[in-house]
Amino acid sequence: MLRLAVLLLLAAAPASAEIVSGSSFLSPEMRRQQEDETRNPGFFWVEQGQELFSRRPEAGGEACIGCHAAPQRSLRGAAATYPKLVSERLMNLEGRIEQCRVERQKQPAFGYESPELLALTAYIASLSRGLPMDVAIDGPARPFYEAGRAFFERRQGQLNLSCRHCHDGLVGQKLRGDTISRGASTGYPAYRLEWNSVGSLHRRLRACSLGVRATQFEAGGPEYLALELYLAGRARGLPVETPAMRR
């Protein structure tokens, strides 16, 4: 905590507006590992997702691929546009997949952070690798984006810190062995060594909330969805990198 207090004294006015990917803060070796499909464990999850996408549910119902033929083409770019409003509801990719699971496959929801949902999300996001993040933040999405921004800028928790304090003000500083990045969402679901697994963006957000002793919101709930839209809006134009690797 003392260390954080010292860091905060260093927190200058928000740094330049340019948002860079969290991958820019990885060690060169880890960055090479991330780019190497045979060495990045996230790709194992992508393969699992691809397999699940083609498989009919045991209890019956259509396989995803039954309705989404040639996903390499038909779903390429889709992930880059989430979160987005679907029938007036803000949905991220996980939510959209669950919607198809329940309404079109007629199966029980996988559940947030379940291995199945993580694998499918990682697979579909990986189909957008290299394409620029392209969420809509105007029109009906605007109020959600603004709610996300307000969350990002609000001081919270026992440490009374906003997301912005760290991810705009302390970028490049070390904190508990990590280098603080701009908090870009471009690599999620990401394989994190500390988790020994792939995890969702909302899992990462819960870790940041806990880090400042603030309320941890439910993964998939409205607070983190709005925050996800704001983060995606900040990262607009950066390439999708799922599955990223993180410490």
Residue 36 or residue 178: which is nearer to ligand HEC going by CB? 178
Q: Among 67, 100, 163, 208, which one carries the catalytic annotation?
A: 208
What are the backbone dihedrals phi and psi of residue 175, each rounded to the nearest 5 degrees, phi first?
-140, 115
Which three-class secondary structure state does DSSP give residue 51?
A: helix
CA distance 44 to 39: 9
Q: Is 234 in the site for ligand HEC (CB under 6 A)?
A: no
Q: Which of 100, 109, 131, 137 binds ligand HEC (CB under 6 A)?
A: 100
Q: What is the DSSP letter of 161?
A: B
12-71: contacts with ligand HEC (CB under 6 A): 22, 53, 62, 64, 66-68
Q: What are the strands, taking DSSP E only, across the chain?
A: 84-86, 89-91, 174-175, 178-179, 190-192, 197-199, 245-246
Binding to ligand HEC in span 103-122, by CB under 6 A: 104-105, 120
What's CA 222's distance to the chain center, in Å?
A: 15
Q: Which of 19, 26, 46, 78 binds ligand HEC (CB under 6 A)?
A: 78
CA atoms within 13 A on the CB side of 54: 9
**Residues contributing to the site for ligand HEC (CB under 6 A):** 22, 53, 62, 64, 66-68, 78, 96-97, 100-101, 104-105, 120, 124, 152, 161, 163, 165-167, 175, 178, 180-181, 183-185, 187, 190, 204-205, 208-209, 211-212, 227, 231, 246
Catalytic residues: 208
